[in-house]
């Protein structure tokens, strides 16, 4: 069963019901606000597509507020650059399969290059190509209004909404619930260079910030040392001998 769960990507996620409820409420309120704004940006189906794109961002901002893909730079640059690429592809390649494929593909490459990978950006790029006449008539204005305007609104809302919850304040640098553990007493500490080398060896994008990677590495090392020390003490103590019966 474990191998099947691993194959289909079911990961360990010990998230409390409180956290799930907060995420649900945040996404609900954010998209309600964005839906109202989008209705004033374009008419008809275009508004629906824009909300869908930002709805994907809401999942990241409110369900994974400390993920690397959820931080302000990926949100703003990911949507902005992808929208620009989508508009240019629609202008020069039309609105068919070639334009849609190029818009999404080039957006992925550019987001990689500028360190702003944000998956909903791909939907934004495709919206610029296939969003209908109302979107195409906006041209490059589509980048500023409604895309970046919506992105700024959802970012601002994420900051305000998450602020009362110290453990999940947004962006992740503001969180007070993630104090780094004490330095590991055994061996050399992990450094920025260690993290970079490990990521280069993996050669795949990891949706975890460097600070969280460092914290995880230190915590795992401390837990392992504590377990080894405990096992060593138990072995040194020898088998448990029951107390002698009273005379």
Residue from 115, 130, 15, 30 nearest 71 by CA: 115
> C-alpha angle 48/51/55, rounded to 5°?
135
Write down the mean pLDDT value for the chain.
84
Instruction: State how far Cα 98 lies from the chain centre.
Output: 29
213 has pLDDT over 70 = yes
Comparison of pLDDT for 143 and 2, the residue scoring more = 143
Comparison of pLDDT for 133 and 244, the residue scoring more = 133
Q: Give pLDDT tens digits for 54-67.
A: 999 999 999 999 99
The whole-number average pLDDT for the span 111-123 is 97
Structure confidence at residue 189 (pLDDT): 62
- Indicate the domain borders of the chain: 16-174, 192-233
Structure tokens at 126: 């495709």
The whole-number average pLDDT for the span 91-98 is 95
Q: Which residues contact 228 (CB under 8 A, 6 or more apart)?
A: none
Q: Which residues contact 101 (CB under 8 A, 6 or more apart)?
A: none
Q: Give pLDDT tens digits for 169-197.
A: 999 889 865 555 455 554 556 677 877 78
Comparison of pLDDT for 113 and 202, the residue scoring more = 113
C-beta separation of 124 from 85 below 8 A = no
Structure confidence at residue 123 (pLDDT): 95
The model's pTM is 0.78
Cβ atoms within 10 Å, residue 150 = 23
Structure confidence at residue 186 (pLDDT): 47
The whole-number average pLDDT for the span 153-180 is 86
> C-alpha angle 27/28/29, rounded to 5°?
95
204 has pLDDT over 80 = no
Q: Give pLDDT tens digits for 34-90.
A: 888 777 766 655 566 677 899 999 999 999 999 999 999 999 999 999 999 999 999
Structure confidence at residue 205 (pLDDT): 67
> C-alpha angle 115/116/120, rounded to 5°?
150
């Amino acid at each position: 069963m474990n191998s099947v769960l691993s194959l289909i990507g079911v990961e360990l996620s010990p998230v409390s019901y409180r956290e799930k409820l907060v995420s649900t409420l945040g996404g609900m309120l954010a998209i309600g606000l964005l839906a109202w704004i989008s209705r004033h940006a374009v008419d008809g189906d275009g508004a629906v597509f824009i909300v869908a794109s930002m709805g994907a961002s809401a999942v990241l901002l409110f369900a994974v507020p400390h993920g690397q893909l959820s931080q302000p730079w990926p949100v703003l640059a990911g949507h902005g650059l992808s929208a620009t690429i989508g508009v240019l592809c629609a202008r020069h390649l039309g609105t068919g399969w070639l334009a849609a494929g190029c818009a999404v593909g080039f957006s992925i490459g550019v987001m990689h290059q500028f360190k702003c990978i944000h998956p909903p950006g791909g939907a934004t790029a495709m919206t610029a190509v296939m969003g209908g006449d109302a979107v195409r008539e906006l041209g490059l204005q589509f980048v500023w209004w409604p895309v970046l305007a919506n992105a700024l609104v959802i970012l601002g809302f994420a900051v305000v909404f998450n602020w009362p919850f110290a453990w999940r304040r947004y962006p992740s640098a503001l969180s007070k619930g993630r104090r780094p553990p004490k330095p590991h007493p055994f061996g050399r500490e992990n450094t920025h260079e260690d993290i970079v080398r490990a990521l280069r060896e993996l050669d795949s994008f990891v949706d975890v910030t460097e600070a969280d990677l460092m914290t995880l590495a230190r915590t795992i090392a401390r837990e392992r040392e504590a377990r080894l020390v405990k096992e060593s003490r138990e072995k040194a103590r020898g088998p448990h001998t029951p107390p002698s019966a009273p005379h």
